[in-house]
């Protein structure tokens, strides 16, 4: 990780307001910077993640991930966590599936005992996508995987 650990309270407050979250809805916030400078927020439940409607102008220049656990009784057992990735001002406001963010969150959650050694993340739900990211810890390594769909194929000659 290039940067990890706690996020400054002032930045958390800016993010909270931009995400339109109430006081106390952010359970924790961490830097999970493995290159893209992600800040990740942990919320209480999947519904809280899915109902987010950020004010992108207040969040411009930030790369934000939001994660919460699935409740097997309410949400089913297809995944253990819901993730959303917001990249305001980067050409697209929300990324449907984000390997780097999921890798950073995995490092945080596995180090803190917030996730099992193997789990599945749901991402893209709010965009009408059904992204699934698999996370697996093998020794000191964290593997991030999933399936893809080829949308365009070609060849470049230099």
Kindly state whether residue 94 falls inside one of the protein's structural domains: yes
Condensed to tens digits (0 to 9), the pLDDT of residues 98-133 reads 999 999 999 999 999 999 999 999 999 999 999 999
Kindly state whether residue 151 falls inside one of the protein's structural domains: no
Kindly state whether residue 20 falls inside one of the protein's structural domains: yes
* Average pLDDT value over all residues in the chain: 96
Kindly state whether residue 96 falls inside one of the protein's structural domains: yes
- Mean local confidence (pLDDT), 83-94: 89
What per-residue confidence (pLDDT) applies to 147? 86
CATH code, domain with 27: 3.10.310.10
Counted domains in the chain: 1
Kindly state whether residue 154 falls inside one of the protein's structural domains: no
Tell me phi and psi for residue 114, to 5 degrees: -90, -5
Q: 90-117 in b/e burial notation, b at 16+ Cβ within 10 A? A: eeeebbbbbebbbbbbbbbbbeeeebee
| Confidence at 90, pLDDT banded by 50, 70, 90 | low
* Domain, as residue range, for 70: 3-145
Kindly state whether residue 158 falls inside one of the protein's structural domains: no
């Amino acid at each position: 990780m290039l940067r990890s650990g706690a996020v400054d309270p002032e930045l958390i407050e800016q993010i909270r307001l931009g995400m339109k979250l109430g006081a106390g809805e952010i359970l924790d916030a961490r830097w999970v910077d493995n290159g893209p400078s992600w800040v990740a927020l942990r919320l209480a439940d999947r519904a809280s993640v899915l109902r987010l409607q950020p004010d992108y102008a207040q969040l411009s220049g930030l790369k934000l991930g939001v994660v919460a656990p699935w409740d097997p009784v309410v949400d089913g057992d297809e995944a253990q966590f819901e993730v959303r990735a917001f990249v305001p001002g980067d050409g697209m406001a929300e990324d449907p599936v984000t390997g780097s963010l999921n890798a950073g969150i995995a490092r945080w959650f596995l180090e803190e005992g917030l996730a099992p050694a193997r789990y599945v993340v749901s991402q893209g739900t709010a965009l009408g996508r059904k992204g699934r990211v698999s996370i697996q810890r093998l020794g000191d390594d964290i593997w991030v995987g999933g399936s893809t769909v080829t949308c365009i194929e070609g060849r470049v000659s230099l």
